[in-house]
Structure 1
Amino acid sequence: MDIVLTRTYFSDGTNGKIECEGRFVCYTIELPWLDNAKQISCIPEGKYLLRRRYSPKFQWHVEVADVANRSSILLHPANNAQKELKGCIAPVTKVSGAGLGLQSRQAFLKVKCLVYSALERNETVLLIVQS
């Protein structure tokens, strides 16, 4: 299964939308593009494997695997990219500014259910990041 994240870049943050099989799922917020610098930039455009991950902080969430020169890139709830993200992607219900969104937990649960359902069917889940 392919999940497509289409981005729009701004100096203060990156906004996007996630679609699966041509259907809108949610919006996203990320840090601005700063040449893939660790903890201050969004990740490069490309194709990435998604997998389940657990941490005490975020509980069960989604990991974006094999990002060049980066580790622990996650999909997890956040409403302010500058304050709450270190290179990760936050699904949001509504975008409220560059790198800002609302009702992230609801949007994250939609994405998590979509990804986990596919993984339970033994499908490979790819995130395609594009502009």
Structure 2
Amino acid sequence: MVLVLNRTCFPKGTQGALEWNGTLVCCTIELPWLQNQRRISCIPEGEYVLQKRLSPKFKWHLHLQNVPGRDFILIHPANDAKKELVGCIAPVTNHTRIGKGSGSRIALEKLKALVYKALANNEGVKIKIQSNPSTPLRMTRLK
């Protein structure tokens, strides 16, 4: 399974649309692109393996493997990239402003259901992060 994150970087944050098989799973927010600097920048474009991860703070969430120059890049709930992220990706139900969204926990649950099912079936799961194509974000939502 390959999830595709089409994102657009702005000076105050990064907005994205995470899709699987051409269907929108959720929106995403991240920090702005600041040359992959630890804790203040979103990560570089590329393809990364996703794994399940459990922590006391975020409970069950997702971990991106082998991000160049970075450790512990996670997909976890957050509604404000500047206040709640240190380089990670937050799924959100809707974008509310640049680097901000709403319904993050709901979006994470939807994403985890999809990814964890694939992992339970011994299917590898990757996320491909790329610049947003010139076409507008698709409005179809995965149920």
- Give the TM-score band, short-chain normalised: over 0.9
1:104 aligns to what? Answer: 104
2:42 aligns to what? Answer: 42
1:120 aligns to what? Answer: 120
Identity level (%): 56
1:5 aligns to what? Answer: 5
Question: What is the TM-score of this pair, normalised by structure 1?
Answer: 0.99
Distance (whole Å) between structure 2 residues aligned to residue 80 and residue 9 of structure 1: 15
Residue 108 of structure 2: SS of its match in structure 1? helix
Unaligned runs of 5+ in 1: none
* Count of aligned positions: 131
**CA RMSD in angstroms, aligned pairs only:** 0.5
1:16 Cα deviation (Å)? 0.2
Q: Deviations over 1:29-80 (max 9, x none)?
A: 0000000000000000000000011111001110011000100100000000
1:112 Cα deviation (Å)? 0.9
Distance (whole Å) between structure 1 residues aligned to residue 24 and residue 94 of structure 2: 13
2:88 aligns to what? Answer: 88
The aligned amino acid for 2:21 is E
Distance (whole Å) between structure 2 residues aligned to residue 54 and residue 35 of structure 1: 29
1:23 Cα deviation (Å)? 0.9
Residue 86 of structure 1: SS of its match in structure 2? coil
The aligned amino acid for 2:110 is K
Distance (whole Å) between structure 1 residues aligned to residue 84 and residue 34 of structure 2: 17
Q: Deviations over 1:82-108 (max 9, x none)?
A: 000000000000001110000100001
Question: What is the TM-score of this pair, normalised by structure 2?
Answer: 0.91
Distance (whole Å) between structure 2 residues aligned to residue 119 and residue 85 of structure 1: 25
User: Where in structure 1 do 4 or more consecutive aligned residues deviate above 4 Å?
Assistant: none
1:17 aligns to what? Answer: 17
1:28 Cα deviation (Å)? 0.2
Is 1:60 aligned to residue 60 of structure 2? yes
